[in-house]
Amino acid sequence: MDNLKNYDLVVVAVGLPKFVSADDLKQGSILIDAGYHPTEKMWRC
């Protein structure tokens, strides 16, 4: 995903945790992650 370093704004909605990391983005870019991935920890009370 080296091409993500070309963008100032990246929007993802994949549903996989850690799909995009800081190393995939250029310094100062904005990442909006709209994906939803429930985990077992989320449902513990």
Confidence of residue 44 (pLDDT cuts 50, 70, 90): low
The per-residue pLDDT for 43 is: 61
Segment 8-18 shows an average pLDDT of 91
Residues 41 and 18: beta-carbon distance below 8 Å:
no
pLDDT surpassing 70 at residue 42: no
Average pLDDT, the chain: 87
Measured between alpha carbons, how far apart are the two ends of the chain, in Å? 37
What is the percentage of the chain residues whose pLDDT exceeds 70?
89
pTM of the model: 0.72
What residue has token string 């909605």?
13
Taking the CA atoms of residue 43, residue 21, residue 33 and residue 5 in that order, the dihedral angle to the nearest 10 degrees is 180
Please give the structure tokens belonging to residue 3: 């091409």
What residue has token string 């800081």?
22
